[in-house]
Amino acid sequence: MEVKAHRYPTEFGDITMVRLVNAHGAAVTLSSLGAGILAVEVPDARGEIANVALAYRNPADYMSDGPTMGKTAGRYANRIAFGRFTLDGRRYQLDTNLPPHHLHGGAGGFQNRIWHTELLSNGVRFTLHSPDGEEHYPAAVDAVVEYRWSDDNELSIMLEATSDAPTVVNLTNHTYWNLDGADSGCALDQTLRLRASRWLPTDETLIPTGEMAPVAGTPMDFTSPKRVGADIEADFPPLRYGKGYDNCWVLDREVTETTESDGARVIREHAMVRDAVELTAARSGRRLRIDTDQPGVQVYTGNWLAGSAPNLSGRSYADYDGVAIEAQGLPDAPNQPGFPSQRLDPGTPMIRTICYRFDCVR
């Protein structure tokens, strides 16, 4: 594995960019700004290598960008209703940077910070300290994002957070994918499958209602492979709210029932969901499969990409040029007692894994 790093000076500090090249010439480029992905270069069915992660031409343009392109969103990815939550009887008010709600940890979220960089033999470890009260969150948090790239074209991400007091954390990667090539145009003809039989209905501001609804019989059903854009113009309120898909699905988990020594029956969920997501491009033959132990997946079809910073082709992306697939905790979980908890306590690290596996289907 070839691991190389170089500094890119900007007005807000030096960015470290790290390039990982495996034995077959497939490569990943990562950035200390937002602990993000700048490029994933993998072969198509003809063996031609191209970048499939949407990217800007200028590394500095990732700072405070609207799309959160490729970066690690936090301290709480996705939305918290009205920026408010209660923890141990105390109420906290966060900034409402997406009025009237809080999104991706606020304007000073993890995605807009320069992380410390440590090179590994086959990857990189980014670390960040977030002090108590930053963006009005309780507790100091230390975060780690560790990327590893393999000769089998697997990019694994380990997300870790520890704290000195109770708080809430939700970390995810926010890369937009286009498997025909990052600058190849609309991605809606690519095929998506989700291992998820339930999704989270929302109000018109995309805040979950608390229900976990079945996908069957709705445009939210991706349990069998379906074109991303097949139903995007359906007369279905959630698709009108966001001008396309910007919704969270609850992953189906294999469960086992065990009997404790006292005779009580306990249902346990297996942590990792293999092939939780599969995205395929018929034109290039590339396939992306995602394994994760996160409880949900937010799918965002790039409905507001127009007007973003210039890409490597020198133009701005158009709406729907890429699909963000964000394995994460459920949105607004601090206000939804029926959702898996995103609480973080001292002495109990929160560790989550996302693995992107690339190959070809013909």
Q: Which of 135, 160, 278, 326 is catalytic?
A: 326
Tokens of 102: 């809080």
326 included as an active-site residue: yes
Number of H helices, E strands in the chain: 1, 30
Neighbour count for residue 286 (Cβ, 10 Å)? 26
Distance CA 126, CA 145 (A): 5
Neighbour count for residue 100 (Cβ, 10 Å)? 10
- The β-bridge partners of 129 are 142
Neighbour count for residue 338 (Cβ, 10 Å)? 10
Give me the helices (H) in the chain, please. 237-241
Contact 170, 333 (CB under 8 A): yes
182: left (phi over 0), alpha (psi -120 to 50) or beta: alpha
Distance CA 180, CA 183 (A): 8
User: To which H or E segment does residue 328 belong?
Assistant: strand 323-328
DSSP 330: P
How many Cα atoms sit within 13 Å of 214 on the Cβ side? 2
Amino acid present at 36: G
112: left (phi over 0), alpha (psi -120 to 50) or beta: alpha
- The β-bridge partners of 96 are none
Distance CA 121, CA 148 (A): 9
- Which of 147, 144, 139, 100 is closest to 120 using CA atoms? 147
Amino acid present at 349: P
Q: Which of 101, 102, 104, 174 is catalytic?
A: 174
2 included as an active-site residue: no
User: Which are the catalytic amino acids?
Assistant: 174, 326
